[in-house]
A = this chain, B = another copy of it.
């Protein structure tokens, strides 16, 4: 079986999305840290893996993949019989497809803006913009109202199993829960229970542990 090499960074949400998938699937992988501060993600070597110059990138055999959600989808399909299923076996296809897109297009843009302002800017010595935070908190609230209604009917977003649709939220969720935005999750009971549930998965704690090394 070809070696899986992940080029990324332990603090990068997109890299964490891929690590989560690898741990859920119980797959061995080589981690190649990319030093973003030193601009290594814009080096010729890295650009040959991902011409867009963004982490993560995955090498497996001759193949080079990038875009975290393409990588997780690839892992979930290639290694379908290893570890956690990550799809809804025996259930209709459509909800998984829909809720994966919801994470990518409704949750992630708003969550990313908030994490940029509240987590990463301070890390880089810059100041959060309160107007941007306020605007995006309002948007996130509306998204989470829809999640609350959905999770009142379904244990996980796509079906009654943990899938890629839930998993893709973990990195942004992890960071948001360390900011005042946590209140938006805590005040919605089904969202709160779901967030706590998926964040307590053993595979996810291994991803978080990578940041403590």
A interface residues with partner B (beta carbon < 8 Å):
51-52, 63, 65-67, 69-71, 73-74, 77-78, 92-94, 97-98, 100-102, 104-106, 143, 146, 149-150
Contacts and interface: CB of A to CB of B under 8 A. Distances in A.
Contact of A51 (B66, B69, B97, B149): B149
A14 B70 CA distance: 21
A69 B105 CA distance: 10
Nearest to A67: B101
Contacts of A67: 97-98, 101-102, 105
Nearest to A104: B104
A143 B73 CA distance: 23
Contacts of A97: 65, 67, 70-71, 73-74
A74 B51 contact: no
A169 to B, nearest CB: 15
Kindly report how many copies of this chain are found in the complex they form together. Answer: 2
Given A73-B97, A74-B93, A106 B52 contact: yes
Contact of A63 (B51, B71, B78, B92): B92
Contacts of A77: 93
A38 to B, nearest CB: 21
Q: Which 7 A-B pairs have the closest CB atoms?
A: A67-B101, A70-B97, A70-B101, A70-B98, A51-B146, A73-B97, A65-B94
A160 B93 CA distance: 27
Given A63-B92, A93-B77, A70 B149 contact: no
Contacts of A104: 104-105
Nearest to A99: B70
B52 A100 contact: no
A92 to B, nearest CB: 6
Contacts of A65: 94, 97-98
